[in-house]
Every structure is written in C-alpha cells, then in structure tokens.
Structure 1
Amino acid sequence: MSTWRPASRFPKWLSWIPDWCHAPLIWMLRLGIAALIAFLAVAFFYFLQSSKFDLDEVAAIPARTTILDRNGTEIEVAWGSNRRLARRQDLPDFMIQCLEAREDARFYEHNGVDFRGLARATIRNIKDRDFTQGASTLSMQLARNTFEMRAKSIHRKLLEIALTLRIEQRYSKDEILTHYLNRIYFGAGCHGIEEASRSYFGKSVSQLDKGQIAMLIGIIRGPHLFSPTRNLPGARAQQDEVLDRMIAMGRIDEAEKKRIEALPIKLVPSEHRSSERSYALHAIREELAEILETSDIRLDGLIVHTTLATDWQLRLETDLSEALSEAEKAPGWDKPTHAGYQSGETPEYLQCAAVTLESETGSVLALIGGRDFLHSRLDRTVQARRDLGTVIEPWIAAAAAERGKRVIPGNPLLTGRQIGPAETERIIKRCGIGGPFLTTEDLFRGGVASTPMELATALTTLVSNGKRPQPFLIQKISNADGKTLFTRQTSRSQAISSNAAKEASSILKQVAGTRSYTGATGSGRDAWLLRVGPTGSTVVWLGFDSPERIAKNPHIDKILDDLVKRLGNN
C-alpha cells in the first residue's frame, strides 16, 4: 500500500535560482527576519528606557555648583547661581559654522545620529578592541552632557542614541545648538558659552570677533588642557585647527584664515576673571577644573566635598590678620601698612601665606595665599618661592639621621657636614622641598628656597613617620541625586625612614600642647613658623612680595611669638 504526498513546490521567485542556492537563501531569509525582530525588540526596549528621562532638562537652566567643607557645611559661594544663558540670536553665524566644522559637519543633514560615522567608529573599535572612537554628533553630546552618561559600553551608547532621537523630535536644530553651547564646559570653571566669553574676553558672546570665536570652539575638546588662561599657545593651536577645518569645508580661504589669526587675543586679567572672595575658594576652583577635565565630568549641579576645616580656616585668618595689624601699629614701624591700601592697588605691605595639612592624609585643612584677596590674587602658598633660612634645620637633621649620622640640635652646620650638601639636598627633596639649593655649605645655613605648600608637605612628612603626602582640597564630587562621580584616592610615599623622621621631629619645640619652630633668613627678608597640632601641620610665611628686610622694630621674633601664642593649642 502506498501513501500519496503532494510534491514540494518552490515559490516561483526561486525558479530562476539554481537549486543548490535554494536552501541557503531560505535560511538567510529566516535569519534576516529574526534579526529584524531582534532589532525591533531592542529598539522598543531602548525607546522605553529613554522615555524615563525628562527632556525638559535639556532646556533647563543648569544648576549651581555647591561647595561643602569637610563637615558637610555649605561654604558661602555658589558658582553658577547667576548663570547667563545665550540665546540663538546671540550666537554669531561664524560660531555656528566653526562648531559644525569642528564637531559635526553633517549636523543639519542627519537626524541626530550620523550612521555613516557610527559605522566607521564601530569598525575602528572592533579593530582596536576598545572604545577608542565615539562618532558622537552634537545632539548626542547634548544628551550625554544633560543626563551625565559617561560609561563606555554598548548599553550606554544605545541608550544615548535613543535619547538623541527623542531630543531631535522635541527640539529644532537651532535649539539643540543653543542648549549645547549653554551647557558644555569651557575650562577655568566656566560652564556655557556666555560665561566663557565674559570670563576669558570680558564681553558677551554676540560681541566676539572671529579669532575669539575660533579659539573658544577649539578648546571644547580639551577645556582644561587648552584653557587660554593656562595654555595660550595650546589654545591658539586649537584655533588653528578649527580654521583649517573651515578651509576644508569651503567656508573661508587661506587669506581669511591669516586675517583671523592676526586678530589680537586680549584676555581678562586674572584678578577680574573669577568671583571667588578668598584664596582657598580660588584654589578649590582650580583643582575642580582639573578633576572635571581628567575625569570627564561635564555635568552641572555638582556637590563638591572639600577638605577645608572652616573653623580652623577662620581662626588662622583672624590670628594672622590681627598679629600683622598689631605689628604695623607698633612704634618704629616704617613700612607701608595694609590699612592704607584700597582694593585693586598693588600691595607693598607685609604679606603672609599659610597652609595647614592634615597629618594623617595630607588633605588641606586651611589655605591662605596672601593677606587680602581683593588686593592681590597671587596665591603665595604655591606661587611664591622664598628662602628658608634657619627653619631648614629639621630637614638637615632628617638627612643626617637617614644616613645614620648623629644629629646635633642647634647646629645644622655640623650636622650637615657629616654627609655633605649634595646628599643633604637629595634627601630633603624627597621630603617635598623643591629648592633651588645652594651647592656649598651655605645650604646648612638656610641656602634653600621653597613654597609654603612644599614646606607644609615636608613638615607633614616628618610628623607622619616619613610618609610624604600629596596635598589635595577636594575629597569627593557627587551630583544632585547623591551619585558619586569622583572620589579622591589618597597617596603617600615613604620618603625617609620612620626613625629619621622621628629624630628630625624632635627638634620642634613643645609649646602649649603643640610643637613649633620659628626662624628667619639672615637677611631678615623672610620669616617662617612651623607648627604641629593635634591633627594638622601648619606652615606660615611672612615677608614682602618684593624682598626687603621685614622690620627692625618690632623684631620679627616678636611677631612670630605673638602668632604662636594666638594659635594656642588648637
């Protein structure tokens, strides 16, 4: 008995294809349908994920940056609280052209995602086995900056693409450009094109010339590294790259490029550039700018957790100010006084600088870069390198002890001679003092220079068993939702042996529960106070910016002794 079955029939559209191709073609068709279904499923998933984000945030005024001290108390400063936002009509057409040329040549052609560029980047990433290429359009960068999407992963990239497509549907191209320029970071603590324009050039964005425009657009890729205030040659190189791209796109010619490059770049003086009202806050802003760049954090509304102890900062400021004011009022003082100066005048009165580092970590508890921030923005804790004089003795002792030699208290010359100037210099440098050093025995008489920050680092090295810290002001950065974006990893290296550090520390004198050491240069131009309290190591410098003898009457020792008493045992 036979069973009848109908003969298999191939679709007519396959009749012209050789028989051996039929099966592979059908499998390819099935795989294509499966891939399409998978693609639609993934697209639907990321559409749902992107719908959880509020697109109103794209156009919202960026939140201010909040600064907290080490106890979580807000410091009286609010960067970005008076943010000026640029409107589309404020943005010169040349700026838009430069931005297209530099960042997204097909901005007005694509729908937010440049799939050609994305395909090239994907192939390159596969070859490199890493996420070396991003192919981000301006719209994608806006999505990333608005919602802080920094993780390098396929998931993040797909979510970014979905958000970008939503943004393109919600906002016009001109609105996207404007929101992008209002949100991105331009270095030197400047978020947004208007703030950057006023901070760097002292004028609104609508008043910028073509040279200034090309420079601002050029630094977008490295706002901290190429900030004009810290690296003008680098900023000019970026300006040149932007103009070359403009030539390649046919927007300008070589003659126009040369004319633009010839335009003078006049930057706003540093004393008029920032809104901080103290050296400590200015130093925080400088460190923050570097962290934002190196950690690729471009979000506003940051919560910056600093290491400052505001009670000790205020105490140190007050005691220093009162001690110097009393010295200037004493009979026989024949130098200019702080009271006789107005804001903006070049200071010539007795100056000071002070740094306190936490002995355990090296974090900055207090920082005073000068006597009056409104008179002078020069931060003398890191920018003034002055002779140490007799306060070099503890480190000469440390060098001798490190080499197993005898420390002779009160006689650094005999102590240092046992190992010689060269070896002494080598060991002192390991503690953090940068020099320059005299190469003769005058080194043992104080022939070495240092900044107050370096000396504070070296002092902390002595009191923490020879471990040299890396000073820092910012412990952590988080966003408004409490998500941690940056955490400081403390770093301490063993500079000298624990025994050498202890023997050198013993030279410090016990005064009211603290250990201190005061001294001055033989010329009387610089005076120093070293002080080790229960938790922190403090260095104070006194002198004039243009080196001259501090005073004959009252003697400088009286000023230092008065300061030691004022600080007490805190």
Structure 2
Amino acid sequence: MSTWRPLSRPPWWQRWLPEFLHGPVKIAFILGILGTIAAAGLAFFYFSLAMRFDLDEIEKLPAGTVFLDRKGVELPVSAASSRKLATREDLPDFLVKALQAREDARFFEHSGVDVRGLARATVRNIKDWEFTQGASTLTMQLARNTYDIRAKSLHRKFLEIALTLRVESRYTKDQILTAYLNRIYFGSGADGIEQASQTYFGRPTRELNDNECAMIVGIIRGPHIFSPLRNLKGALEQRDQTLDRMIAMGFINEARKEEIQKIPLHLMNSDDQESRPSYAFRAIESEFDRIRELEDIPPGKLTVITTLDSDWQSRLEEELNRSVESLENEKSWNHPTRAEHVAGEDPTYLQFAAVTTETKTGAVLALIGGRDFRHSRYNRATNVRRDLGSAFEPFVAAAAAERGKLVLAGRPVQTGRQIGPAEVERLAKRCGLAGPFLKTEDLFRGSVAASPMEMSVGLATLGNDGKRPKPYFIQQILNEDGDVLYTAEPQLTPALSANAARDARSVLHSHAGTRCFTGATGSEREAWTLRLGPSGSTAIWLGFDVSTKIANHERLEALLDEFVDRLGND
C-alpha cells in the first residue's frame, strides 16, 4: 500500500517572494500581530483609566485660590468672589479666531489629537532625548488643566490622549473652546477669560474690541511676564505675533492688522483694581504669579500658605497709626491729617512704611506700604528711597568691623574714617542696600538712600551673623488634595563675617528683649526705626511723600521710643 501524498502548495506570498525572505516575513507578521494585540491592550488600559474621570468637571467653574498666613489664618481676598463662567455667546468671533491662530491652527479639523503635530513633536523629542515639545491641542490642554495631569512622561501623555478623545466625543468644539478659556490662567490674579477681561480692560469679554482680543490671547503663553499691567511692551509684542499668525492663516490681511493696532486699548490702571486689599497682598500676588508660571501650577482649588503673620502685621500697623495720630494732633505743621484727606486727591498727610523679615530665613512677616491703601496704592515699603541719617550707623560699624577696625558707638564719622567712603559703600551693598551713596565723608552721617525693605534685609543680615537673606512671601502651595506643589527654599548669601555682624549690633540699644535704633535725618524730614527682635528684623520709615520737615529731633526720638515701648516683644 503506497504512503505517498502530494506536497501541499506553498502560500501565495511565498510563491511571490524569494526563499531567503520567507523567514523574515514570517517573523514580521508574527510581530505585527503581537504589536497589534499590545497596542489594543494599551489602548484598552488607558481608556479604562480615562473612564474614571468625571467629564462633568469640564464645564464647572474651577474653585478659587485660598491665601493663608503662616499660622493658617485666611487672608481677605475679594478677587475670587468676582469670578464667573463665560458662555460661547460671550466670546467675540475675533477672539476665537485669534485663539485658533495662536494656539491650535487645526482645532476645528482634528479629533482632539493633532496627529501631524504629535508626530513632528515625537521626532523632535527623540532627537533631544527629552520632552521638549508636546504638540498639545486646546482639548489636550483642557484635559490636562481640568484633571491636573502635569508630569512629563509617556504615561501622562497616553492618559492625556485618552481623556482628550473622551472629551471630544462628549462636547462640541465650541463647548471645548469656551471651557478652555474659562479654565486657563491669564496672570495678575485672573483665572479664566471673564476675570481676565475685567482685570485688564475693566469690562466683560463680550465688549472687547479686536485689539484687546489679540492682546489677551497673546499673553496666554506667558501670563506673568507678558501681563500688560506689568509689561505693556511685551504684551504688545505678543499681540503683534498673534495678528501675524492670523495673517498666515488668512483670517486678516496686513492692512487689517494695521487698523487693529490703532484701535484704542482701554487698559486698566493697576491702582484702580479692587482685587488687592493691601500692599502686602499685592506683593504676595506678584510672587504667586511668578511661581505659578515657573512651576507650571494649574488653575484649580489651591491653598497658598504665605509668610505673613497677621497678628504681628495688625499690631505693627495699629501702633504706628497711634503714634502718628498723636503727632498729627499736635498740629505742628500745616499739612492735613489723614482724617482731613480729600477723596480722589493724592494724600499729603504724614506717611509711614514698615517691613519685618524673619531674620534667619528672609520670610516677610509684615509689610506696610503706607497709612491707607484706599488713598494710595504706592508701596512705600519697596519703592520709597529716602535718606537714612543716623540709621546708617550700624552699617558703617559693620564695614569697619569687617576690616578689623574699631567700632566707636555713637561716633559714625570717626568709625567710617578708618576705612573710607568707598569701602563703607561696598560693604553696605553686600548687606542689601542699593544706594545711591554720597562719595564723601557725609556718607558716614547717613547721606545714603534706601527703602524700608532694603533696611529690613540689611538689619537681618546683621542679626543673622552676616548671612543676607532673600525676602520672600510664599512658603507653600498645595492642591485640592493637600499635595505640595511648591515649597520655598530660603536663600542666604554670605555678606559679612559673624564677628563683624556682632560688632555692628553693638550700636543698637537693648530694649525689652530687642535691640533697636531710632533716629532722624539732619533735615528732620525723615525718621527711621530699626528693631532687631528675637525672630524678626523690622525697619520703619516715617515721612511725607513730598519731603517736608516732620518735627524736631527731640520730639521724633520721643515719639519713636514710645512706639517701641508699646510694641513690646514679638
């Protein structure tokens, strides 16, 4: 019986290919099947993860930011109460086209993921061996901001893509675009397009003209550095770049661009905004803007723990007001008192400013920029530069001690002569004083200008054994779940030797557990108090905005001594 059987005919692809390719093709086929299964599994995994997120969050108003002092006391901030969601009808068509041109040219064409842009970014990332480009569409940015997907990794990108496709399947393009504008941060404390419009232009989004629309879209990529309230030149450059992109996409032509640039910008004056209830909060907000941009912190319910000590700030302000009001009641000059101030006019009454920094770290415990924030938003704590007079003596002493010379308490001229004006200036700058400095021996008598902030840092340098701290206002930023997004790291710079700093402190007078120095300039137009407490270094300035004699030396000395007595220990 025969066992012969006909050979089976080879598959068609083997008949078409040379024999040496049969093995590699089989391997490629198997790998292709395995790759398809793996890709399907990966897609299933990430879409399963994406299903855990509540898509209703997309259209909700993000929770506002809460600011706390260092002890957990909430600081009063009125800006959050003015937030509201814009609708698609509130958005001018020009604003929508500007956003499309600047941020996502193919927004109305792609399905949430711009495949071409993603492929281009992937090639670039492989070349750079890091995630330098993300090719994020507006929908991807919306998903990222809504659900706080921040880490730069493949896992984050895959999850973001899965969420993006879910969002696109649920919402229309107009809804996505509107939700995006309601969620992003525009700088200067403005979360969302409606608050940004009110902050920058003082009116609702629906009333913005084409010039304002182009500007507000332009600042999205750098809301802190391009805020028109801080950097109008930069904001105008970003506006022009947005208009150029609109020309490239055929939305406008060059002639229309020139017309738009001539439309008046109704920019708000930063002093007209009521969202900043104090000088201290204005400084906090500025630092918050900078940190938020540098650390890429998303909008949402954030808790900002500041360095302020509300109790100390209130105590300092109350006692300063009490002292100055007693001087005003003596009617020793013709200027009006604060009570006699005429609304709408620049204040001409006696002012004060004060800064307390934590000596060891530079954390700002208190900042007072004037007697009444409602009358004047000008921050005298950081911007006023006035003659120091006898208050400069501790820094003359520090410079002499650093060079191994004698510190002659109460005799700054003789102390300074041992090393000369140039050396005193150099050492004072190392302590944080920027000047200008007089180049003669009158420098030893205090012919140098400084701000209260500089004096507080300088005093802290002496109290911190010669290490100059960098002042800061924010300790930590936490998200809604309590996760720490940012923590401040104190920065100390060596300025003097510890021995020189200790010798310089010897010219301060001991008083109730603190070391103080009070004095007025020779013209009796400025008065200063330096107070080195157990934990804080306080510098206080007293004077008029337009330099005018306050009172005689004896009265000013007595006034400041009484103030220090009442202030007590910290």
TM over 0.5: yes
The aligned runs of 1:388-407 (5 Å cut-off) are 388-407=388-407
**Corresponding letter in the other structure for 1:458:** G
Given that residues 66 and 79 in structure 1 are in contact (C-alpha distance below 8 angstroms), is that contact kept between their aligned partners in structure 2? Answer: no
Q: Write the distance in 1 (CA, Å) between the matches of 2:556 and 2:544.
A: 13
Residues 315-464 of structure 1 aligned to structure 2 (within 5 Å): 315-464=315-464
Q: Structure 2: 5+ residue runs without aligned partners?
A: none
- Indicate the SS of the match to 1:74: coil
Unmatched segments (≥5 aa) in structure 1: none
| Worse overlay, 284-293 or 264-273 | 264-273
Query: How far is 1:16 from its partner?
Result: 2.1
In 2: Cα distance, 1:541 partner to 1:2 partner: 118
Would the aligned equivalents of 2:512 and 2:569 in 1 still touch at CA under 8 Å? yes
- The answer as to whether partners of 2:409 and 2:506 remain within 8 angstroms in 1 is no
Q: Distance in 2 between matches of 1:2 and 1:456?
A: 109
Query: Which residue of 2 is the match for residue 65 of structure 1?
Result: 65
1:290-301 equivalence runs, <5 A: 290-301=290-301
Name the structure 1 match of 2:17. 17
Q: Verify the 8 A CA contact 1:184 1:192 in the aligned structure 2.
A: yes
Q: Is the 8 A contact 1:64 1:79 kept in 2?
A: no
Name the counterpart of 1:545: 545
Cα deviation for residue 342 of structure 1 reads: 4.5
Question: In the alignment, is residue 155 of structure 1 matched against residue 155 of structure 2?
Answer: yes
Q: Distance in 2 between matches of 1:55 and 1:448?
A: 61
Paired residue type of 1:431? C
Q: Secondary structure at the match of 2:77?
A: strand
Amino acid at match of 2:505: S
**Paired position in structure 2 for 1:487:** 487
Is the 1:352–1:371 contact (alpha carbons within 8 Å) kept by the matching residues of 2?
yes
The alpha-carbon deviation at position 150 of structure 1 amounts to 1.6
Q: What code does the residue aligned with 1:495 have?
A: A
CA positional deviation for 1:3: 8.7
| RMSD of aligned alpha carbons | 1.7
Tell whether the 8 Å contact from 1:331 to 1:554 is kept in structure 2 after alignment: no
Q: Is the 8 A contact 1:64 1:78 kept in 2?
A: no
| In structure 2, distance between residues paired with 1:4 and 1:135 | 64
Provide the rounded CA distance (Å) in 2 between the counterparts of 1:8 and 1:364: 88
Alignment pair present for 1:35 and 2:46 = no
Read off the aligned partner of 1:360 and give its amino acid letter.
K
How many residues are aligned here? Answer: 570
SS in 2 for 1:290: helix
Contact map agreement 1:342 1:375 (CA 8 A) in 2? no
Amino acid at match of 1:155: H
Counterpart position of 1:125: 125
Query: Relative to structure 1, is the Cα distance of residues 473 and 22 closer, same or farther in structure 2, using a 3 angstrom cutoff?
Result: same
Q: How does 1:165-184 map to 2 (within 5 A)?
A: 165-184=165-184
CA-to-aligned-CA distance 1:224-282 (integer Å, 9 cap, x gap): 01000111010000001001001101111110011111223232122222422221122
AA matched with 1:329: N
Q: Aligned equivalents of 2:139 and 2:489: distance in 1? A: 34
Alpha-carbon distance in 2 for matches of 1:286, 1:146? 24
Q: CA deviation at 1:447?
A: 1.2
- 1:284-336 deviations in Å (ceiling 9; x for gaps): 11111111111111222110001111111110111011111111011534321
CA distance 1:3–1:455, shift in 2 (3 Å) = farther
1:554 positional shift: 8.2
Opposite residue 201 of structure 1, the aligned amino acid is: F
- With normalisation by structure 1, the TM-score equals 0.97
SS for the counterpart of 2:175 is: helix
Which has the higher mean CA deviation after the structures are superposed, 544-553 or 92-101? 544-553
- How far is 1:10 from its partner? 2.5
SS in 1 for 2:158: helix
Secondary structure class of the residue paired with 1:81: helix
Conserved? CA contact 1:343–1:374, under 8 Å: no
Percent of aligned pairs with the same amino acid: 57
Query: Which residue identity does 1:113 align to in structure 2?
Result: V
- Equivalent residue number for residue 55 of structure 2: 55
Q: Under a length normalisation based on structure 2, what TM-score does the superposition of the two structures give?
A: 0.97
Task: Give the deviation of 1:553 after TM superposition.
Answer: 9.5
Note the alpha carbon deviations across 1:444-502, whole angstroms, 9 max, x for none: 11111111111100000001111110111110000111011111111111111000000
After superposition, the C-alpha distances for 1:91-124 in whole angstroms (9 at most, x for unaligned) are 0111110000000000010010001100000000
Q: 1:96 to 1:123 in 2, by over 3 A?
A: same
1:141: how far off? 0.5
Maintained 8 Å contact 1:305/1:476: yes
Moved over 6 A (4+): 1-6
- CA separation of 1:483 and 1:6: change in aligned 2, threshold 3 A: farther
Structure 2 partner of 1:137:
137
**Distance verdict in 2 for CA 1:10–1:345, change over 3 Å:** farther
CA deviations on 1:487-543 (whole Å, 9 max, x unpaired) are 111111111100000000111001122110011222222110001112111111011
